[in-house]
Structure 1
């Protein structure tokens, strides 16, 4: 991540007509974290060592530009309480000390920096865990799909589709109930309730119906009936605030909101931005086109496309004149701003330039130094704008903001459960309940009737069943093939003809067509099962198909001698053969007993034809 600081303001997206577009505010929330640390947070970032990038690897330099830890990591973060999260060359996460040595070896698939003494980590194929700095697992989040860092003693978790919060013992402190939620700050957290609203906007409905028509045109099914939508549902996100007991302190009513900072929070009515106190009352009425949180008694606002600063009474202190701006640094009165020509410089609280605009990007001052980019390289300057370290680094990262708002996702995947569900009814002689003697009639009964099967006037039928093996794996289709499935029956019609010799008409029966009926006793020759994957299942499809092959071999009572690097896996015993196509997600059952008989019959027929031809040839020469 480059070090240009995150935008600390909410800005509206363009609206079409009267349709309100809900704002995304994640980047806004991230910007408040650095200031929290330097105003009493329990975790202390260190600016003594700075992550920098050289080529495609990250290392650390000190504030004189001296390389302290050589570039060797795929990613690196700032030190917090003497420990930093890094990603190794093989893309595993671990933690290092300021000497560059691992304190916690890189073994995790994903991880977050330490916060309030704990870090959330995710082992390969595992569930999120919280560890201490000695890598002791304090607890595992068994039900959470998504986890965040601790802030104000609580950590965000997502269970199914709702967000809640856990405490430092892993207990659910606030039950999952919110559609969107953010970390606590100043004892309150921003939460979102999504309401569905009926919309009868004609243009939107016409567009929806046009899309539906286009979709139906692509369906090869004449039984599809036209559906016309007269209304549709859209989601409306409403932002409010809760306390650490989970009690709603300020009802969800705003179109967007930022966490509280210095006792005030930015909120929007969908048109303009203002500020409320912790009672939900407006202190500064909505009037700005964009707004940021308060730091050191000042906040960034915009009027039109230009940014300036206000005080807590809503009075403009520095007129909107900048293309973009950052909050003033906590430990000094300097702020980074961008002039109308896109160059970055530094101003004081009167809006006067202390360092003229000349840089491409930069950060606020941390103590007596700031990081700036010029000619695509990063360096370090002092308060006079002089280089302490000349621009030489490809990237640097002094991200004290984002990590508190980052999350990790569970990597747990119930592979064994999916395989068990798929292989129900499988043993040495059966595969999913079918065997070498299974007939069409039995398949039809299992499918729920012949009308559930689609025949294409050959010896095969399709069964589209959409069987959920798990939330992320669906058995979508089975393509069955049989021996002599269709029986052909002639259809005759009566035709009247005229006899010129006899001088009269007469009726005759002529072959008109053929009627095809299913042979209920036709035996199955093969079945192709098509699986559909999504989410983690899609990511782990290759592993899943390999594990499926191992389990099939076990159930068939044979050894799996396949090379797992190949796309195809074949397992068979004396009666059945199973072939797995890993890339296509297909599993094929073959009836070896019947196929062997059919092959023998075909060979006998070919031999008979060959013998007859040879006999005819001999007879011709005999004449």
Structure 2
């Protein structure tokens, strides 16, 4: 017999009737409008009523075989096969057989003198299947229709009317997926039920309605009633003011006197509840309900019998559902199993579950117990406990929690194993590289810091007075206070930089007489490949250090600059960085090699392989990508090269044009020189307003006689 103890409890949120949520299947997924409950998507379209009957019979045969395992039931042996043979009459005959069989099975169980949970379970399973049979009878009367293969709220494959076709219809305030053969709906502000064909077999007429629960559903007009799968209403349920469906034909009801009790689907006839009356009934775990009597709590079973007497100040489930529970007596808490055996005497101030992120662990069941000595971890699977600590943090993404033992901290894992001994004065939070800052206090009282891995391996030596946080490229600054510095004289701070693997990227300048120097990592990239490191170099007089920069190659995390620079510009097409040192500009390549020493007062972005630079004489010239001077420093102004030509000036507002070899294509005689955008020609004007035009190669094309006279005069 298929057991169904857990069939519905996983989707019950609360059965305390004071809760606002009024549905057994409240946690089933709703759509964004809150109207549609459950996944109603089709797994397959059913093209004809005949095919729907065929699928229905296949499913009903599976149900029957599940109930009669081991038997050779031939009730539907001739069902299925060729769908041509499954007309409405044959289909109706098969369902009539099932209807009769299931009714007989229920009567047989009810007349049996032996009563146990297995029989309750078996009876429940039969009634659920019977509900499906009654709902499926609608296919006998259909000649056409649109149906789909889908899964109902219990995850079982069914054939039914596509409920999503109600989307956008303002008449519906609730459309719930099928459950035990029927779909609960709220239309025009009252509840009713649809069968598998989408027929309103139980018309919308109820103020409230619960899902079907083993052949009957709780409904309310003025009073509460049961309605069965045929739409027949029971007599009114006496003294009941509210009710919620549970499972196996059992419900929880609130009575006029404010008390709660479990009732079964025969309450309209018996007038007797299954359980005693309580001040509160709520779901405890998959098998039990927590009940309240006055100020005390106990547990009852689904059949209403007492499991644990209501003698405790409180009872709560542990993370290990169904195995242990947290009990409270006389303001002390302990653990008890569901048979009532005390496993940990109520001696703690508190025991609480720890919520573990499922991305860390799906099966961890830990709690924290606190008493006068401190706090400890409890594994609810086997009741193992950790050592007592003065503090325990939340578990991080590595499954580790920081613990404090006296003055020192370490880490413990989900198996209650100490993976990093509590020998550190402080520990930070694990970063994206699985590293955590760690500090120790030595015998002299000095505190030294570094970084360790999540398994305790030392990555950055615990030898520094301070460590910063890693940047997003995996670099970190470690700081050391040293004595007898050479710059500035006396004591100073010396920084170094490590990478995430513990490799020294930038070390001390001079071990024997260290120079005080400070670094700060940044997330700034040059050309997507080089990381900028802020650098504060020492000054002899102790003034504030100016901010300069070093470069570290991103992929290999290797320093490429041999010294820091006040300014670094992005590298160009020649893969050269313009850099400034001591107020002068130069060039370095992507390996840090100096191409042009920082000796120039200004530098222009390269054009056609040449850089305009300003020399100490305050004159401009050009150097090439090897740092060699190609155009001497003779000009007060130079402009970028264009097709091998550059506009230059020697002062007094006189402009000319030179080529890459400093040949004077047009002498510095003209008051204005422009490049015409459309033709790239040079237009020159003299002080008298005469206009001259040179082509893009520097050859004269307009007013050339006069231009030759000017050029001849300049060449003398």
Q: Same fold (TM over 0.5)?
A: no
Question: TM-score scaled by structure 1?
Answer: 0.32
Question: TM-score scaled by structure 2?
Answer: 0.28
Structure possessing the higher relative contact order (Cα contacts under 8 Å, 6 or more residues apart): 1
